[in-house]
Structure 1
Amino acid sequence: MNQTTTPARASRITSEVDFARDGKQVGFLRLPHSVHRSAYGWIPIPVACVRNGAGPTVLLMAGNHGDEYEGQIAHAKLLRQLEAKDVRGTLIFLTSANFPAADAGMRTSPIDGGNLNRSFPGDPDGGPTAQIAWYIENVLLPQCDYVLDLHSGGSSLMYVPSANCQRATDPERMRRSLELLQAFAAPVSYVTDAAQGGDQTLTAAARRQGVVHLGTELAGGGTVTLAALRAAEQGVRRVLQRVGVLADSVPADPPPPTRLLQVRGPTYFVYAAERGFFEPLVELGEEVAAGQQAGLIHSHDTPWREPAVALFQRAGVVICKRVPCRTERGDCLFHLGSTYEA
């Protein structure tokens, strides 16, 4: 377990769950929130802990973005299935981390507009999203050895069901991350050079706290697919067994093959240069070449104009594409992966 010193600044969030107590506990994190209808109220963020003696501690997190449902469902199902006897160590469940966003089915919080995965390290005296980020980074993560952060494409993107980690300069940390990718065994696994949100992401928070982070992008499109949900459920079980916190008596399927890729910078992404209607010219999983047409943006207000053409800047495999047809300049249309190089 990481032994990072508790920060001098205290969180205003309190927990109904005692993370040091053996057994299975469920309850809420209480985030104080004073509004017109409730002067001394609090936002109830669901939290649970399943603990059984000594062993690794793993934070199982989903709902970092509220419109990404696969992880929220997968973690909730596992929580209902497990008892303390099934665990060697501690599992902390934060299934709807940015609860206001999850409650509204939105990527960001309807209260303060906060994107939790762009809010770390947060602020214990800030708005709701900043307070949640502070609590995760400075209260939960210092207790943990690993964090499984389940994302998907949300409302605007669709992925080939994938797991991911960030490239590490420390060889041992990189080895452990690749080991978890192989255990999760999503159809695609990829290594990123840097998270899209830089130092404001949970990935960066985990790195600061010395915690091994594993992320996912499990389909998306504002829905749940059977394949993505099964990949999430079985992948989480395999990872927990690999790190030794889940008893072997809890069944998990053997890991299927996974394709190991990398995402190494801006040339892996395609963005809309105009606003209009997006017509994709390739599908998920296709191999593409540098300079190949990726999609067309049709002008709905001047339909006599020829559509704008979006091009792939490099060769690779299409692992993500935009779902909504209506597109604004700057929206991500695709991103690619290429064969992993150590």
Structure 2
Amino acid sequence: MTKSKVWTDIDLDREGRSTGYLRVPHSVNDSGYGWIPVPIAVLKNGDGPSVLLMAGNHGDEYEGQVLLMKLVQNLSLQNIRGRLIILPGVNAPAVAAGTRISPIDNGNLNRLFPGEPDGTPTQMIAHYIDSVLLPQVRYCFDFHSGGYSSEYLPAAHLVAPDNPDLRKEAIGFLKAFGMPNSILIQGLIGGGTRLLGSCQRLGVGHMSTELGGAGAFSIQAYRAAEQGLQRLLHHVGVLAYGQEDSPPATRFFLRQSTQDFVYAEATGVFEAYVGLGETMEAGTQAGVVHFTETPWRDPHPVFFRHGGVVLCKRSPARVKIGDCLFVTGTAVEAI
């Protein structure tokens, strides 16, 4: 594999606490030999598992960024058994802009794996993660939220592996993390271009989250994730202590496929009839799209094609044809 052009002064194998930047080459008019700084922290204390923690994969998802920044600030090195590699704002240009994708190259980091060593800045970040960081770790946990365009029930999120042993391990992540809800995805289209695809290819245990969204910061989701992260890191053996109480129970949902999401089929203002967490039957009306340029027209009705619990809803009321309005899932009793 071609060597990454991203570099860092941080020694990933050094004992102790190291902080600095990944340096992503970026030559532009006002900085011919410049680089984009991607903050990184490495906390290493003796033998134990190596774990990669990431947030800011999408720049408008905030709970995970705060979660990992506070972890870097407050976690005592003596409580670590092994190594934590932490990227609190991995798609740094998107994080700085507060946008889902990078304003530099329109790169959606979580759709560009395994990346390109000679590609755009976002492709180079993906390639560095795939070729340098992931081969060094046993686990990778990536913290997402719904972003500006959508809002989720606070949940841990998992593309369930097919291998029974790996599936059991991954379900263990969800149970240890203990969010109020846990979402399982099967048969994900395009999974190979996401971080989870690289993790699966390289044998790295993976879990992500959906901690709210709508471009806001959910204190309830954050508090649950803050406690859950301690349990999760203790569960995989990299943290010497964890929450003394058992993890709270989590409700499991199997997310329906992307083809079965509810989409806008008209352009205008969407009036939603339902909210997060509500249970819908197939054929239930989800809302209507109003035509602002021809307000005398009857609005366009929108229906749920399949029954289930509303796991995610669109945040902006203004919609166009093709926008996702609702994501639903089916409750799963036995895991």
Checking the alignment, whether the CA contact within 8 Å between 2:256 and 2:328 is kept in structure 1 is no
- Normalised TM-score (structure 2): 0.97
Checking the alignment, whether the CA contact within 8 Å between 1:271 and 1:331 is kept in structure 2 is yes
3-state DSSP of counterpart to 1:39:
strand
Change (3 A) 1:298 1:196: farther
Decide which of 249, 253, 275 is 1:261's aligned counterpart: 253
Structure 1 position 199, deviation (Å): 1.2
The letter of the residue matching 1:94 is: L
The letter of the residue matching 1:320 is: C
3-state DSSP of counterpart to 1:41:
strand
Change (3 A) 1:136 1:253: farther
The letter of the residue matching 1:281 is: Y
* Partner Cα distance (2:244, 2:92) in 1: 29
Structure 1 position 256, deviation (Å): 1.6
Structure 1 position 267, deviation (Å): 5.1
Structure 1 position 254, deviation (Å): 4.1
Decide which of 97, 108, 126 is 1:104's aligned counterpart: 97
**Aligned residue for 2:278?**
286
**Aligned residue for 1:221?**
214
- Structure 1 residues 177-208: Cα deviation after superposition (integer angstroms, max 9, x where no partner): 00000111111101101445431101111111
* Partner Cα distance (2:168, 2:243) in 1: 25
Matched pairs, number: 334
Matched, 1:328 2:335: no
Decide which of 69, 79, 103 is 1:76's aligned counterpart: 69
* Partner Cα distance (2:201, 2:155) in 1: 24
* Partner Cα distance (1:58, 1:77) in 2: 17
**Aligned residue for 1:152?**
145
- Structure 1 residues 276-307: Cα deviation after superposition (integer angstroms, max 9, x where no partner): 00111111011110110112111111111111
* Partner Cα distance (1:19, 1:285) in 2: 42
5+ long unaligned stretches in structure 2: none
3-state DSSP of counterpart to 1:68:
coil
Change (3 A) 1:336 1:255: same
**Aligned residue for 2:128?**
135
The letter of the residue matching 1:224 is: F
Checking the alignment, whether the CA contact within 8 Å between 1:290 and 1:314 is kept in structure 2 is yes
Checking the alignment, whether the CA contact within 8 Å between 2:147 and 2:215 is kept in structure 1 is yes
* Partner Cα distance (2:127, 2:192) in 1: 13
3-state DSSP of counterpart to 1:109:
coil
**Aligned residue for 1:303?**
295
**Aligned residue for 1:92?**
85
The letter of the residue matching 2:200 is: R
Decide which of 309, 314, 318 is 2:306's aligned counterpart: 314
Matched, 1:270 2:270: no
The letter of the residue matching 2:45 is: N
Checking the alignment, whether the CA contact within 8 Å between 2:188 and 2:257 is kept in structure 1 is no
Checking the alignment, whether the CA contact within 8 Å between 1:321 and 1:334 is kept in structure 2 is yes
The letter of the residue matching 1:319 is: L
* Partner Cα distance (1:236, 1:85) in 2: 17
* Partner Cα distance (1:43, 1:92) in 2: 19
* Partner Cα distance (2:256, 2:318) in 1: 28
**Aligned residue for 1:4?**
none
* Partner Cα distance (1:245, 1:72) in 2: 20
Please give the residue correspondences for 1:23-34 in structure 2 after superposition, counting only pairs within 5 Å: 23-34=16-27
3-state DSSP of counterpart to 1:338:
strand
Matched, 1:193 2:186: yes
Checking the alignment, whether the CA contact within 8 Å between 2:116 and 2:126 is kept in structure 1 is yes
The letter of the residue matching 1:241 is: H
The letter of the residue matching 2:105 is: D
- Structure 1 residues 37-59: Cα deviation after superposition (integer angstroms, max 9, x where no partner): 11111101000100111111111
- Two-structure CA RMSD over aligned residues (Å): 1.3
Change (3 A) 1:304 1:226: same
**Aligned residue for 1:47?**
40
3-state DSSP of counterpart to 2:28:
coil
* Partner Cα distance (2:170, 2:204) in 1: 11
5+ long unaligned stretches in structure 1: 1-6
The letter of the residue matching 1:92 is: I
Matched, 1:239 2:229: no
**Aligned residue for 2:331?**
339
* Partner Cα distance (1:252, 1:36) in 2: 55
The letter of the residue matching 1:207 is: Q
The letter of the residue matching 1:316 is: G
Structure 1 position 253, deviation (Å): 6.0
The letter of the residue matching 2:313 is: K
Checking the alignment, whether the CA contact within 8 Å between 1:267 and 1:314 is kept in structure 2 is no
Structure 1 position 251, deviation (Å): 5.0
- Normalised TM-score (structure 1): 0.95
Checking the alignment, whether the CA contact within 8 Å between 2:256 and 2:327 is kept in structure 1 is no
